[in-house]
Amino acid sequence: MNEQASSNPNVDERTPTPPVDLQEVGTQLMEEARGHDSGRAALTLTPTGGGPLKQTLLALCAGQGLAEHPSPGPATIQVLTGVGTLTSGGDELRLTPGSWAPVPLDRHAVSAEEDLLALLTVVPGTR
């Protein structure tokens, strides 16, 4: 376990020590997602106890997604690899490699058309 994880209960013991190679960690996380029935895996990179931001690396296998849910605060999604869709209300936003988008505070969902690796950034508790 790294020092950062042992001192902060909001950090997974797998949380890498900076600087983080998002592609390398993302490749490992995608492999983990492939091993889960849910077809997804996530890893917190920025502890909520250490500042106002929470950043999570999210891996979704093709055909999988996150069911509709509200955002815990202002958020963005940045796609590193893969293709997906961010849905809110009747609106759909296509997500492709390199794309960045704000996440609606309203109920929304994310689905992966291809294996999707994305960085979610949230400011929790500021709705």
Provide block-wise average pLDDT over 10 residues at a time, the chain (127 residues). Answer: 42 73 94 96 78 90 95 94 95 97 94 97 81
Kindly state the greatest CA–CA separation across the chain. 44
Say what the pLDDT of residue 122 is.
Answer: 92
Q: Residue 23: what are its φ and ψ, rounded to 5°?
A: -65, -45
Evaluate whether 41 touches 33 at the Cβ level (below 8 Å): yes
**Taking the model in full, what pTM does it have?**
0.84
